[in-house]
């Protein structure tokens, strides 16, 4: 959701960072195919030799449609780094959704520094949760200290760190990671992160204690009673969500409760401390998706997983999801958000391959608040995954388909009708 001005408020355009610097330390990654006709990307494969499986992945990042700002850049960025610390079993995937006037600069800065700090942490493999916390806090401090004005700009971050057969998911903000789990004859979506917004009771209470006023735009403008501190759920109120404001001002208006940067919002409780979850992979885990809220604003986690499952080529899936997201955005609003999506298929993992690593953590963690609403997972079936949400260290108190469907995603045109005509989504 970003800042109160939406994501149309950048007055300082620069080059779009959809390609440059997105990949780093590619190591022994190999191309499975030539470039995809729609996404213009190769299908990449990276092995995880210790557990005898491989990950096959693709990424797509697409600028939004902004009729009031036709030259506005894509503020999303992504980072994929393989063989972290030279280890063939450690890989990193991240999506960063910038917001504010300097949102692009913030997302670029964070995607680079966060991965670098993690890669240089000697304790990364011994204590990934502690390393994640330290990396986020250090990156936030460095962004504050940089030449980038992050007083009213910043970025959310959703990242996945693969260590052998375990994945650690660190989230700051309202982007999302979701994993597909085979459950009998069904493929079930299971959220790996929980959106950090005032819709969550725990996050609402935390930022209130830090001095934030929490009001929707209609409440701030006097159209609704500001004393009614209830906004339903994100599905019904996503168009005018509760936002954070200073006590005596009409700013910053953030619809998230955690981010990197946003030094002004930091004073009223918007923190850079990540919530970290861990999953021990099993043969029932088919793929995971890491995406910005441009995808999940109108598509549920289960819908996204269902769309991915229709395709054997994840590049087709990326294009279809981006196209469907654009279409639904324009059904609700006169603009779309920037969209970035990484799809990672887990290939060849067997019980014997996973047996070398203990499947338990020996800890009982408090689960993050679950909620059903706009973009939330619509599945309640148990998967048997070992997910430990909000694992806190001392830093935290506070898959060409058989029936290939064309999915065309084009650079943002000047007119929404043009866009709809060029987005062809045939979901079988």
Question: What is the pLDDT at residue 367?
Answer: 33
Question: What is the pLDDT at residue 77?
Answer: 97
21-35, 188-202, 305-319: least confidently modelled range: 21-35
Q: Is the dihedral of CA 59, 65, 69, 70 positive or negative?
A: positive
CB atoms within 10 A of CB 215: 22
The closest alpha carbon to 260, from 73, 79, 105, 80, belongs to: 105
Residue 321 has φ and ψ, to the nearest 5°, of: -70, -40
Question: What is the pLDDT at residue 402?
Answer: 32
**pTM of this structure:** 0.79
DSSP 50: G
Task: Give the integer Cα–Cα distance in Å for 287 and 167.
Answer: 12
Across 4-13, 139-148, 245-254, 355-364, the highest mean pLDDT is recorded for 139-148
Task: Give the integer Cα–Cα distance in Å for 334 and 365.
Answer: 42
The pLDDT of residue 316 is above 70: yes
**Tokens 């620069």, residue?**
14
Task: Give the integer Cα–Cα distance in Å for 161 and 147.
Answer: 29
The pLDDT of residue 247 is above 50: yes
The closest alpha carbon to 30, from 88, 95, 94, belongs to: 88
Higher pLDDT, 187 or 20: 187
User: Which pair of structure tokens corresponds to residue 276?
Assistant: 């970290």
**Which H or E element spans position 176?**
strand 176-183
pLDDT, one tens digit per residue, over 34-58 is 565 555 567 899 999 999 999 999 9
The closest alpha carbon to 107, from 92, 96, 93, 94, belongs to: 96
Question: What is the pLDDT at residue 182?
Answer: 96
């Amino acid at each position: 959701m970003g800042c109160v001005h939406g994501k149309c408020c950048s007055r300082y355009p620069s080059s779009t960072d959809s390609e440059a610097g997105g990949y780093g330390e590619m190591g022994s990654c190999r191309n499975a195919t030539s470039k995809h006709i729609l996404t213009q990307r190769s299908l990449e494969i990276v092995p995880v030799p210790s557990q005898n499986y491989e990950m096959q992945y693709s990424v797509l990042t697409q600028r939004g449609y902004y009729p009031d700002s036709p030259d506005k850049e894509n503020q999303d960025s992504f980072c994929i780094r393989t063989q972290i610390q030279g280890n063939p079993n450690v890989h990193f995937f991240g999506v960063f959704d910038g917001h504010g006037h300097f949102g692009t600069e913030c997302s670029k800065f964070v995607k680079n520094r966060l991965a670098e700090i993690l890669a240089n942490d000697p304790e990364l493999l011994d204590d990934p949760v502690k390393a994640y916390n330290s990396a986020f806090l250090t990156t936030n401090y460095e962004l504050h200290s940089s030449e980038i004005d992050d007083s009213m700009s910043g970025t959310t971050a959703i990242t996945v760190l693969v260590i052998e057969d375990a994945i650690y998911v660190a989230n700051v903000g309202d982007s999302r990671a979701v994993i597909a789990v085979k459950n009998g004859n069904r493929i079930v979506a299971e959220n790996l992160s929980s959106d950090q917004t005032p819709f969550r009771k725990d996050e609402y209470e935390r930022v209130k204690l830090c001095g934030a006023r929490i009001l929707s735009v209609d409440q701030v403008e006097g159209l609704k009673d500001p004393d009614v501190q209830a906004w339903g759920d994100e599905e019904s109120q996503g168009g005018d969500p509760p936002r954070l404001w200073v006590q005596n001002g009409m700013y910053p208006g953030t619809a998230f409760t955690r981010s990197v940067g946003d030094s002004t919002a930091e004073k009223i409780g918007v923190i850079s401390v990540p919530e970290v979850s861990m999953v021990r992979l099993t043969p029932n885990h088919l793929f995971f998706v890491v995406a910005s809220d441009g995808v999940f604003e109108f598509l549920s986690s289960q819908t996204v997983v269902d769309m991915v499952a229709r395709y054997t080529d994840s590049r087709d899936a990326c294009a279809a999801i981006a196209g469907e997201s654009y279409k639904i955005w324009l059904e609700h609003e006169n603009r779309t958000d920037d969209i970035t999506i990484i799809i990672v298929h887990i290939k060849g993992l067997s019980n014997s391959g996973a047996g070398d690593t203990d499947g338990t953590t020996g800890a009982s963690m408090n689960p993050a608040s679950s909620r059903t609403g706009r973009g939330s997972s619509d599945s309640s079936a148990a998967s048997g995954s070992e997910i430990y949400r909000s694992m806190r260290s001392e830093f935290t108190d506070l898959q060409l388909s058989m029936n290939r469907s064309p999915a065309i995603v084009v650079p943002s045109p000047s007119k929404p009708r043009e866009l709809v005509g060029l987005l062809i989504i045939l979901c079988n």
